[in-house]
Chains A and B, each alone.
Chain A
């Protein structure tokens, strides 16, 4: 059973749209949740969330953790073609284990 599940698997939007990506996680030994953006090669870090209800923001991207719902969302406002990528969610668990979701592939069309 997957510890981290992302939805949707893929998404196509037009420039200027706002998108919300979802990530749910298994609670046992959970410590933190991380979001990454993966374009052509290596994932690059976006956010790390440890506390529930505190929004983290970076430009047009924002993310929040909901420990009651065991989930997190990543919002992207005013999307641009450069936002096209795979967005990965990962849970950090005890004993330094990271478990990644399968990713959401976002395609932003001009």
Chain B
């Protein structure tokens, strides 16, 4: 079991560029989440999904879009990157909504 994997691990973008972060899990989990973590702050929920084909907004959804076309994958998109989106992005998954979340290793994104 690979658990939760994220690609890429690092990325540098210029303002206005777009990109997609991929999260994959092989644990057959229903729930998947995208967080961002900024220095000195905890994780903030961007978007989440409670099952294939469903997505919902979290605490800080603006500037991001997500898709869950397959149960094992959860994609996070930035259509027009801004320096304020410089952060470390973590994906997580859980079996149900009251279960432990398992986190991926993170993606460090820098927007210049």
Which residues of chain A have a CB within 8 Å of any CB of chain B?
Answer: 4, 6, 31-32, 34, 41-45, 48, 50, 88, 90, 92, 95-103
| Cβ–Cβ contact B100 & A48, under 8 A | yes
Across-interface contacts of B103 in A (CB, < 8 A): 42-44
A33–B102 Cα distance when bound, in Å, is 15
Cα-based distance from A42 to B4 in the complex (angstroms): 10
- Residue-wise, chain B 71-111 has the 8 Å CB interface mask toward A (1 for contact) of 00000000000000000001000000110111111100000
B45 touches A41 (CB 8 A): no
Bound-state CA distance A98–B97 (Å) is: 10
Q: Is B59 part of the binding interface, using a Cβ–Cβ cutoff of 8 Å?
A: yes
Beyond A98-B33, A98-B45, whether A41 also contacts B97 by CB under 8 A is no
Sample of 5 A–B contacts (CB below 8 Å): A42-B4, A92-B98, A95-B56, A102-B40, A103-B42
Contact partners of A32 in chain B: CB under 8 A: 98
A-B contact count (CB 8 A): 56
Question: Is A4 a contact partner of B106 (Cβ separation < 8 A)?
Answer: no
- Look across to chain B and name the residue whose beta carbon is closest to the beta carbon of A3: B59
Q: When A4-B42, A42-B90 are in contact, do A96 and B105 touch as well, CB less than 8 Å?
A: no
B50 in contact with A100 (CB, 8 Å): no
Measured CB to CB, the residues of B under 8 A from A are: 4, 31, 33, 35, 40-45, 48, 50, 56, 58-59, 90, 97-98, 100-106
Interface of A is mostly: strand
Cβ of A44 to closest chain B Cβ, rounded Å: 7
User: Given known contacts A31-B98, A48-B98, A99-B45, what 7 new A-B pairs fall within 8 Å (CB)?
Assistant: A6-B42, A43-B43, A45-B102, A98-B45, A100-B44, A102-B41, A103-B41
Question: In the complex, are the beta carbons of B100 and A45 less than 8 A apart?
Answer: yes
- B1 to chain A minimum Cβ distance, whole angstroms, is 15
The CA of A52 and the CA of B90, in the complex, are separated in Å by 30
CA distance A35 to B80 in the complex (A): 34
A31 to B45 CA separation, bound complex (whole angstroms): 17
Contact of A97 with B98 at beta-carbon distance under 8 Å, contacts A43-B103, A103-B42 already known: no
